[in-house]
Chain A
Amino acid sequence: MLTPLQQILEAVLLAAGEPLSRARLEEIMGEEVDAAILDEALRGLAASYAERGFELVEVASGLRLQARERFAPWIARLTPERPARYSRAVLETLALIAWKQPVTRAEIEAVRGVSVNPNILRTLQERGWITVVGKKEAPGRPDLFGTTRQFLDDFNLQCLEDLAARVFPEPAKER
């Protein structure tokens, strides 16, 4: 049985259509609900979905309800076209930016051993996964690239450490 608070949380999370941070949820729930109460309610809510087709997950931007990964093949049939597959060049570039950020194009090329096609960086920027986080204090002041919160959200990650633990052999550098 869900508590009234859990029912409200469920309704809000379902209606939001985007991840909601804990701070935002606290704000929505009003004064009686503090971080500890919220945390307990969310745990209970997450547990209650054990037998459902969706789950409550926490990503970089906050909490969201999502259909479970194992049902992807059926959900994919909703839309005729297959989701875009990214080439190894795109994936390697993205992985390298996530790993060594902030990183310049020249540094990416040094590790990959090939010149980086500008289209790759543009594709990743348009997808909202990378962004120019600054300029390097070096000749030509080249752009420094880093990953975005959207990137973490879309790869089901909470933070860069989370990414490092799952993908990289050593901790990713702090932003």
Chain B
Amino acid sequence: MVQPEFVARVGEQLVLEFPQDLYIPPDALAVILESFEGPLDLLLYLIRKQNIDILDIPIAEVTRQYMGYIELMQGMQLELAADYLVMAAWLAEIKSRMLLPRPPKTEDEDEEDPRLALVRRLQEYELLRQAAERLDALPRVERDVFPVSVQPPAIERRQEPPKVALDELLEALRTALQRAALVEHHHIQREAISVRERMSLILLRVAEGAVLLLDLLTPDEGRRGVVVSFLALLELLKGGQIEVERDAEGLFLVSVKTEAC
């Protein structure tokens, strides 16, 4: 590699000697070896350490330092990521292209500084590096801020029993009456059945657990028995002592009215 006449250039000013305080001894590199996130990160570090204008990189000097780092990595027998070698090759390519005499400029050909592509990638990476830092600085849930919550009061989720329309109830009565009609003629004697008495009987049965409506309207008492039972049910419903719901199969279920809490 050709020895440059100066080690750095700040704007138009040439720095002829390498400033001692800016030199990165290889030992120091070893310490920070692990902290680089790749070749771009390392290059940015080298460039920033030397206060070089990113738009005006002395490729030869930077490449020399970069290669020093690579050798150090190899010396420490670290597994050298291929990305670092690709960058080394790229740096060498840039330098060699800069050394080549440029063909006279033609109108349609845009001969740009071979360093420009590198500069663009470095600038983009620099932006990303800053973005990552700022992102990390944002207040984060479970690290900086903590959602607040209180124990909600115990909520008993009571499922609303399905509403039973009167005509549905009447339909059930009709079914029961039809069933009763089938067996009515078997009855020879009829008991006198009072509604009040039937109300008590129903309450007693229901108290032991929910009963199907059709089981209460027993056909074996005949049409009259069914009507009395139904009247008793309506009285109890009106008085709020029982409630009628539909079970999963759509059958009417009579049960003791539970107090809403």
Chain A residues closer than 8 Å to B139, beta-carbon distance: 69, 155-156
- Say whether B128 contacts A92, CB under 8 Å: yes
Q: Name which residue of chain A comes closest to B35, CB basis.
A: A88
Q: Which of B121-152 contact A (CB under 8 A)?
A: 121, 124-125, 127-136, 138-150, 152
- Please report the C-alpha to C-alpha distance between residue A111 and residue B135 in the assembled complex, in whole angstroms: 17
A3 within 8 Å of B (CB atoms): no
- Say whether A113 contacts B121, CB under 8 Å: yes
Q: Which of A15-55 contact B (CB under 8 A)?
A: 15-19, 54
Q: Name which residue of chain B comes closest to A52, CB basis.
A: B148
- Say whether A112 contacts B40, CB under 8 Å: yes
- Please report the C-alpha to C-alpha distance between residue A72 and residue B140 in the assembled complex, in whole angstroms: 10
- B37's partner among A54, A66, A92 (CB-CB below 8 A) is A92
- Say whether B131 contacts A167, CB under 8 Å: yes
Q: Name which residue of chain A comes closest to B122, CB basis.
A: A113
A96 within 8 Å of B (CB atoms): yes
Chain A residues closer than 8 Å to B145, beta-carbon distance: 57, 66-69, 72, 156
- Say whether B128 contacts A115, CB under 8 Å: no
How many chain B residues touch A (CB < 8 A): the figure is 35
- Please report the C-alpha to C-alpha distance between residue A15 and residue B134 in the assembled complex, in whole angstroms: 32
- Please report the C-alpha to C-alpha distance between residue A157 and residue B134 in the assembled complex, in whole angstroms: 13
Chain A contact-residue range equals 35 or more
- Please report the C-alpha to C-alpha distance between residue A99 and residue B121 in the assembled complex, in whole angstroms: 16
B56 within 8 Å of A (CB atoms): no
- Say whether A112 contacts B125, CB under 8 Å: yes
Q: Name which residue of chain A comes closest to B136, CB basis.
A: A91
B225 within 8 Å of A (CB atoms): no
Question: 13 A-B contacts, Cβ less than 8 Å apart?
Answer: A15-B152, A64-B148, A65-B148, A67-B147, A69-B144, A88-B129, A112-B38, A113-B121, A155-B139, A166-B134, A168-B131, A169-B127, A169-B130
- Say whether A113 contacts B87, CB under 8 Å: yes
- Say whether B143 contacts A83, CB under 8 Å: yes
